[in-house]
Amino acid sequence: MPWYLFGFSAAMFAATAAVIEKWLLARMNVWQMSAWFSLITALLVIPILLTFKGSLSSLSGVLWGIILLKAILEAVQFVAVMTGIQRLGISTTIPLMALSPGFVALGGTFLIGDALIPMQWGGLLLMVAGMYMIQLEGDSVWWRPLVRLFVDRNQWVILLALAASVAVALMDKSILSSYKIPPQIFITVQQWYLAGLFLLLMAIRKTYRTEEPILWNRNLILGLIALAAVTVGYRYLQMRGVMLAPVALVLAVRRTSVVMASLVGGSLFHEKGFIRRSIAAAILAVGAILLSQAV
């Protein structure tokens, strides 16, 4: 199968995951969904580990610690995004998370000295324009949409998620390039850590009796399994695409998921202004493509 079909399939799976997450969050809280989703996903990634010919004992204690730190950051990002979907809706949260490449680019510029070329600055400007469209809420002053992400307390979870995504992206680059850790080990161990972290947090919440019981039914169980399956699926499809083409090209196609999720999710859940936000998501995706493809 051509690389672009892998990329487009990964985008469809990622958009499907966002829609399922929104559906699940109407039936359980963020912590419950995170714990059960992570546990099921940890089981589903075991076959990936079986493709590794070495041994887990070959990992140094430092690497175990680094992967744990990365898993904690992933957990923060995931909870922040899920909280955003629950509070703000899928057609607002998912497109705003498309700002992540811009924050990563700026983070790389100011933290590790990466230089941006004119095309990349153009991509950043498109991303600002897309964010402006998403944040339009009948404001009386033109600049309000530009700062809403920073002054609206309900949107601070998005800022937290974006900050975590910058740290995660920089750590991914460091772990896979500097430490030469096999991807199979990296993905599997990280997912086991995530499952352990979320289950521990849920147990603590139960201890302090802040955890409401889940009303289990067949659809809820199938929803969790489906979410874990499509999440593993889009990660696998993206990885297969990267094996056939440059990472930038695959990620460019993969980022069309923000448009799909905004359109489909906004329509299914009857979110106000989802068409405008979907157009804004497309602008954000183009900006992300310019950032990722510039050399």
Residues 2-61: tens digit of each pLDDT: 887 888 898 999 999 999 999 999 999 999 999 999 999 999 888 877 766 666 666 667
CB 230 within 8 A of CB 20: yes
Which uninterrupted H or E stretch holds 263?
Answer: helix 257-268
Instruction: Kindly write down the DSSP assignment for every residue of 186-199, as one continuous string.
Output: HHHHHHHHHHHHHH
The number of domains in the chain is 1
What pTM value is reported for the model?
Answer: 0.83
Q: Are 10 and 254 in contact (CB under 8 A)?
A: yes
Structural domain boundaries, residue 172: 3-293
Q: What is the pLDDT of residues 232-276, one digit of tens each?
A: 888 778 777 877 776 666 777 887 888 899 989 989 898 888 888
Whose structure tokens read 């933290």? Answer: 111
